Structure 1
């Protein structure tokens, strides 16, 4: 069963920032054109359902490149301690991926709050 949220007034916008989860978000403000309602519905739904995966992937990819550069630049150290170096690289990539995911979730939440503030301004 889907849990849809249809927002028709400014007071209902606060539900977006609550701990409730909605499958679909639709704006239906009477004082906005249908195209604006659709525009804001798509924008808000995108950040509402953000999981941080894109930012997590970007952090993972950049940390992977940094690990490869480390292996190339510190090749002598790698030969002396191969298992330790691989384990450190794995942990580094894992931590950076999780950090990226958390940052992505945080930025999506900030963007959602900003969108709610903007929608409140334009709906009088």
Structure 2
């Protein structure tokens, strides 16, 4: 479980996917990793966009339906495929030079909350 969290975090920052946090998406749409058939098994976790209230976008860490990690499968079976493993908010108006730092702060909160939920 923490391997899956660590891998998504690394992917967000090594490939600069975190910049998508500051773009507009329809609530419920995936932010990262990019949606593709093979990503469902490769990436057991995903970030989804939530509602935007003022300048703040809700962001949800969720378990992909094809996740195979035991803790993630258990969470998904107990809570359903759309259950939020963790949630947070990001300011959409964050300046470009401050975006990486803001994204890291959000990710640290999401990762910590997810680890607590999964045990």
- TM-score > 0.5, shorter chain as reference: no
Rg larger in structure: 1
TM-score, structure 2 length as denominator? Answer: 0.28
TM-score, structure 1 length as denominator? Answer: 0.27
Q: Name whichever structure is richer in helix by fraction.
A: 1
